[in-house]
Structure 1
């Protein structure tokens, strides 16, 4: 079995470790066996070889030959200006090669920032004593202690977790915080397991005790770094075209030079006069300005992309990117502003604006505001007087504060963090009325867990007809381009097992959150369409929400677009 499929104690045993950590002797032996916990650096060509490559490609060789012929012509017939032409060609070669080398060398240096994702120090249990050690000395079997704000130094199996949420974007690309527990996972790979912390990720909330099972190049992060360094260089379309043009120009120049040399000899010109004239023809046909023009154009494009936080490692990649025919774009934060605002509600059988339903929210449906205010994973920044975290959760808290400002927050006792598979989160709070569980998430995830619904007539059993009414309300909100969240709650008991928390919930409201499109998106999509580029939206939102946003930004214009779900 894989380590994430074992219990915490079994995982420790498989690594010949214990909850008190390794001894110093064991750690030293394993360090000799597995090596230091570092990102492996693959052998790279020395800088002088990279510099030489910029001056030795086919077009540069043609320019070198042109300069040599110009100097030869000046030697045979001084005063014809060929020396100035030769120096000009050498200047073009030098400036172009140096600029291209600097651009590539700077990009290589930026890539070393990969190592900055790993911490320099880590808290470890050694000989049952808590101590700070350099992360490079971490070995498989070490027990590490992690808290909010820490970067994960190696691949670890969680053995204890307390409200643990991590940011895994650096490794998997998943933008949403992920909850982690110590329970065994049935996932096929460690990347998908809910009890594994991957090197290069960071702890957003909570605390954890974890045992290291992979370090250095054996981690998922290490393998990504290794693959990125071993990727073979592929000649871009621009490289191939310039090479083809260089061969054609070189051949035509030589043929023209030979032709004029023969003509000169046939009409009785002296040998050296015909030879110098042929050299002039060859040099004149070499487009010295092509290389700096192409390099400058690509460099300007790379600079513009750098201002938008896109690193161009090789200049020809700019042109290759321009050859794209299909663009897949995320919706939230890319096509939209990622600035959410609670705009419409469905509660008590009514759908309307927040302001219109405010009296109900301050009365019988106050539980909806309690859920919006308390069920989140935001961090309060006291020095700045604001919350930090997911914009959707910030919008819910702002919605509650807008209608009932200054209300004290109830103490949080525990939580079931949000996970992409569950599509919901729940928090347990101590309120004046006793323990209460607040839940929020996608309606499809919460509806099966709700046995009751709050209506104007009071709390009613969740019948099939009532269920259909909630689903229809969600569809109407989604068709307006709103992101829809369901809010539910129930009273809880102190001795309830965590596995049964989210059963028997009371569904109280649907909140429609608006995320306006970016102002420049419609124009950008129109430009892509005019250039023959297909733009496809990829999102985890409700299909009707995605379709409504697609119509707003001009991505969809026909009546029956293709929407794929799965």
Structure 2
């Protein structure tokens, strides 16, 4: 916490209530309506303001101004100037469709997550002019006196001046899973937000009631301050966006250089007029600019987001899909992310026996498993006594729900774990409370750290039951229950009990101690009226029963998820507001770190330089008791080390780090709306394992991007080769392929098979590979070699040969090659069709990088085969529809020419299968892991 914020809170926490009221301009009768109205005008409504939204028009326009989009706009203009309006319109249409699709996807995702203001309650009870009234929470102002009770969300930062058994869940701010006790007395605890008489906006009352004085509302609250930190972060530029811009620059430079070279050659070598040379050069530029790349990438990413949504991950930005695949570090909160945010009893320690109750089948129909055999609870008197106390000394209730509503626990997580324990043991809580009606309660307070209830059994005997901290219990106990027998509690017993408790504490577990006392005829309290049962005379001479050991357990699926992250060379750094002991225990238990990992607290972090922190995050480290600014700084230092950082979280305290990270991941069920608003991805099941699935999907998306990039570029060489032939023959051989035909391949026949490649499943072993280096590029040497040097060259020879094949059928070389007319149209159509049929083989070959296509299923990707069918159908339409023949300069082919075309794909496919087989053999010989 910044010093100014700490001063603000202490200024509200330390003064006497009367002095604070005077400072805030109020008194015990509350504000008047006029005062409240003036303050509402001065301070504004009590709401969390979202970052100023950009104009929808600007957002819409941004989808049409990427580097590739600008290049396509310019290409369309050039085509118009060159007298080819059909070409220009076609290029612009691609841009418009792609931009509209991108905008729609962004708008839908933003609409699904734009619910920030729902965290605060709708109404609050305030004292205005000595009268209690209910107002909308937006109308609450500094100086207002308001009331809260169990289940309420706290509407403002406030000083507590009256309370009863008040406990507050502050996990949305601190990450601490246990409720925090609040009183009307000032006491500074450990860590942030630790003033005991201060409650914070956005947190929840788990038990008790209180009256408070609001001293900060809206964006002036701690909740608002942290939300503002998140809003102040710059918009992330995703690695894929940078990579696509880099790729666009590469392809643009290549296309322009080739276009300029061909323009000059056409003028000086072929002696073409400048206008004709320009159109000729434009054709070459069009050939080397993959106009279909942008819509293909967009649609492929959209398909990836849809697949991830089915795996419980909602992405707000298409480009963030691939970022997941590049992730090297996950900075993860503990509570609710790695753990279940639900306290669970796992051991019951009694003088005579230690029960491990972690197994789901431990309790069965009022029986327990002891030494692998069922035993009636009545035969375990110590355990029965502890369960009775845990059931009766408890203010938490179970709402069974109605209809489709699920049962809910109403109360603290600690008491909820005891209720669940009782239910597992077959105890009917309501029946038990009727059997032992409660006569009085001595509420929990932080000084004695105990809670006692006074009940009466069926014979009328009064019983005092107590639960609380072990140190406090041992002070009031002088006897112990040992295998059904009450005997004196010796110093040796106390030392043994404390040693047991310390053993569990070192494992990051928490304990709760239980004791009881029966008011017999010889008990001094027998002559005291119930009203006079007080702490001093009731909580004494107690019989110690045992300990309930509990923890916030890891999610069951987290263990396998962590193992997958390790195999994928992805480090997990726990960043939590919980205690160092608990944090390390959980981290070691689930395999995030070894026992040698260092633990750095928020206080230590404050004294660390950036250089020291950068070194620390390179090794095994856990961060505990951290503040929002700490999480932000940790993510920043990881990024300065060159890491691609994913940061997970569910609380408002996580929002700045979520915004700063390369990809922020919020919990959808337990997450605050502030966290969801700041995140790039939302887990709809709050399951950390879904992150691993998302990372695998991200890697697959990148791999598929490379696959269809190879597929698209594969046609560039055969598109350019006819023009090379034209140049080398100084125009004696007419252009075997027109510009509109080139566009047919780029925007027509290539599109659907490319989309089919975008839904290919990941190849085996993709999660056993390290994240790809940040300096790697989509267009790498392997793709360049295969696209231009191997299969591009082969396709060039085949397509150019197809052109001469048709001319040969028409009498060449005995007659001159036609530059127009039916024969010329038929020849260029054959060139175009040959390129398409080469691409049919390329579509199958690009499905895998090393594995055989037969191993993933020749017909498993139906989208590929649908695309191939559409390719053939489109070519047929261009050949036989008169209007299209005119636009694209095409003509019909005969049966022999169709036979030639259908012979093309098979040898190309088998050739690539042979190359992959050789690669697998080489990999097997030089690696212990063939995958």
Counterpart-to-counterpart distance in 2, 1:305 and 1:299: 10
Counterpart-to-counterpart distance in 2, 1:213 and 1:238: 46
Instruction: Report the Cα offset of residue 366 of structure 1.
Output: 4.2
Q: Which residue of 1 aligns with 2:515?
A: 489
Which of 31, 40, 53 is the equivalent residue of 1:22? 31
Alpha carbons of structure 1 residues 352 and 206: separation in structure 2 relative to 1, 3 Å:
closer
Conserved in 2, the CA contact under 8 Å of 1:450 and 1:462? no
Q: Which residue of 2 aligns with 1:381?
A: 399
Q: Which residue of 1 aligns with 2:45?
A: 36
Alpha carbons of structure 1 residues 450 and 92: separation in structure 2 relative to 1, 3 Å:
farther
Of 318-327 and 263-272, more deviation after overlay is shown by 318-327
Instruction: Report the Cα offset of residue 256 of structure 1.
Output: 0.9
Determine helix, strand or coil for the equivalent of 1:436.
Answer: strand
Of 392-401 and 139-148, more deviation after overlay is shown by 392-401
1:339-359 per-position Cα deviation (integer Å, ceiling 9, x unaligned): 877565331242345543865
Conserved in 1, the CA contact under 8 Å of 2:516 and 2:545? no
Conserved in 2, the CA contact under 8 Å of 1:387 and 1:394? no
Alpha carbons of structure 1 residues 498 and 196: separation in structure 2 relative to 1, 3 Å:
farther
Matches within 5 A, 1:517-556: 520-536=557-573
Instruction: Report the Cα offset of residue 141 of structure 1.
Output: 1.0
Q: Which residue of 2 aligns with 1:509?
A: 546
Which of 455, 461, 466 is the equivalent residue of 2:482? 455
Instruction: Report the Cα offset of residue 102 of structure 1.
Output: 2.6
1:72-122 per-position Cα deviation (integer Å, ceiling 9, x unaligned): 44x25xxxxx825x4443333223322322333344445541112223332
Q: What is the TM-score when the length of structure 1 is the normalising length?
A: 0.81
Alpha carbons of structure 1 residues 62 and 410: separation in structure 2 relative to 1, 3 Å:
farther
Counterpart-to-counterpart distance in 2, 1:287 and 1:398: 61
Conserved in 2, the CA contact under 8 Å of 1:483 and 1:542? no
Conserved in 2, the CA contact under 8 Å of 1:351 and 1:473? no
Counterpart-to-counterpart distance in 1, 2:537 and 2:247: 71
**Matched residue count:** 549
Conserved in 1, the CA contact under 8 Å of 2:501 and 2:511? no
Instruction: Report the Cα offset of residue 286 of structure 1.
Output: 1.5
Matches within 5 A, 1:126-525: 126-186=128-188, 191-267=193-269, 268-303=271-306, 312-329=315-332, 334-335=337-338, 344-352=347-355, 354-356=368-370, 362-364=380-382, 366-381=384-399, 383-384=401-402, 388-389=409-410, 393-401=415-423, 402=425, 404-405=427-428, 406-408=431-433, 410-411=437-438, 413-416=441-444, 426-432=450-456, 433-434=461-462, 436-440=464-468, 453-456=480-483, 458-461=486-489, 463=491, 466-468=494-496, 471-472=499-500, 475=503, 485-490=511-516, 507-511=544-548, 520-525=557-562
Alpha carbons of structure 1 residues 474 and 253: separation in structure 2 relative to 1, 3 Å:
same
Of 382-391 and 170-179, more deviation after overlay is shown by 382-391
For the pair shown, the structure with the greater C-alpha radius of gyration is 2
Structure with bigger helix share is 2
Alpha carbons of structure 1 residues 489 and 334: separation in structure 2 relative to 1, 3 Å:
same
Alpha carbons of structure 1 residues 67 and 496: separation in structure 2 relative to 1, 3 Å:
farther
Counterpart-to-counterpart distance in 2, 1:18 and 1:502: 38
Conserved in 2, the CA contact under 8 Å of 1:362 and 1:403? no
Instruction: Report the Cα offset of residue 275 of structure 1.
Output: 1.2
Counterpart-to-counterpart distance in 1, 2:335 and 2:40: 44
1:122-179 per-position Cα deviation (integer Å, ceiling 9, x unaligned): 2211110111223232221111122333332222211111232333344444444333
Conserved in 1, the CA contact under 8 Å of 2:175 and 2:334? no
Instruction: Report the Cα offset of residue 429 of structure 1.
Output: 1.2
Q: Which residue of 1 aligns with 2:73?
A: 64
Conserved in 2, the CA contact under 8 Å of 1:8 and 1:183? no
Conserved in 1, the CA contact under 8 Å of 2:477 and 2:489? no
Alpha carbons of structure 1 residues 5 and 245: separation in structure 2 relative to 1, 3 Å:
same
Alpha carbons of structure 1 residues 365 and 264: separation in structure 2 relative to 1, 3 Å:
closer
Q: Which residue of 1 aligns with 2:363?
A: none
Conserved in 2, the CA contact under 8 Å of 1:302 and 1:318? yes
Determine helix, strand or coil for the equivalent of 1:192.
Answer: coil
1:254-303 per-position Cα deviation (integer Å, ceiling 9, x unaligned): 11100111111122233233211211111221222332333334434444
Alpha carbons of structure 1 residues 116 and 395: separation in structure 2 relative to 1, 3 Å:
closer
Structure with bigger strand share is 1
Determine helix, strand or coil for the equivalent of 1:489.
Answer: strand
1:350-391 per-position Cα deviation (integer Å, ceiling 9, x unaligned): 234554386577535544123321344523315559551566
Runs of 5+ unmatched residues, structure 1: 77-81
Q: What is the TM-score when the length of structure 2 is the normalising length?
A: 0.52
Counterpart-to-counterpart distance in 1, 2:536 and 2:303: 57
Counterpart-to-counterpart distance in 2, 1:38 and 1:544: 35
Conserved in 2, the CA contact under 8 Å of 1:475 and 1:544? no
Alpha carbons of structure 1 residues 146 and 334: separation in structure 2 relative to 1, 3 Å:
closer
Counterpart-to-counterpart distance in 1, 2:378 and 2:476: 24
Counterpart-to-counterpart distance in 2, 1:273 and 1:243: 31
1:286-327 per-position Cα deviation (integer Å, ceiling 9, x unaligned): 222332333334434444555677654433334334433223
Runs of 5+ unmatched residues, structure 2: 1-9, 357-367, 518-524, 602-931
Conserved in 2, the CA contact under 8 Å of 1:474 and 1:510? no
Counterpart-to-counterpart distance in 2, 1:284 and 1:167: 63
Counterpart-to-counterpart distance in 2, 1:218 and 1:242: 41
Determine helix, strand or coil for the equivalent of 2:381.
Answer: coil
Alpha carbons of structure 1 residues 111 and 18: separation in structure 2 relative to 1, 3 Å:
farther
Counterpart-to-counterpart distance in 1, 2:136 and 2:347: 52
Instruction: Report the Cα offset of residue 544 of structure 1.
Output: 9.4
Alpha carbons of structure 1 residues 351 and 15: separation in structure 2 relative to 1, 3 Å:
same
Alpha carbons of structure 1 residues 369 and 124: separation in structure 2 relative to 1, 3 Å:
same
Q: Does 1:7 align with 2:16?
A: yes
Of 93-102 and 120-129, more deviation after overlay is shown by 93-102
